[in-house]
Amino acid sequence: MDEREEAARLRDEENRAGFAIRRDEERMAAEARQLAREMKDFEDAEQQVEREIEGELRKEHWGLEPERPPNWQAGTD
């Protein structure tokens, strides 16, 4: 193998490695976006459940606030 072929082979390897890195970076960025969306959905669902529980507590206490608020209101998470 002469010098030009060796240089071309090395450039090809370098290019393949660079493309592989970019593919991995794109995959990780997509995964991070997906996880962020899932976390947002989870937080939204959590807030909805908290509102539902608070509503049920008010029903049980004839529209008044309960004597002991839920942990998320009392700050004892």
pLDDT tens column, 23-67: 999 999 999 999 999 999 999 999 999 999 988 888 888 877 778
Res 77 pLDDT > 60: no
Place of tokens 């970076």: 25
Burial 19-33 (b: 16+ CB within 10 A, else e): eeeeeeeeeeeeeee
Q: Which residue has the higher pLDDT, 70 or 14?
A: 14
Q: How many CA atoms lie within 13 A of 45 on its CB side?
A: 6
Between 72 and 10, where is the model more confident?
A: 10
User: Is the pLDDT assigned to residue 76 strictly greater than 70?
Assistant: no
pTM strictly above 0.85: no
Supply the pLDDT for residue 41: 98
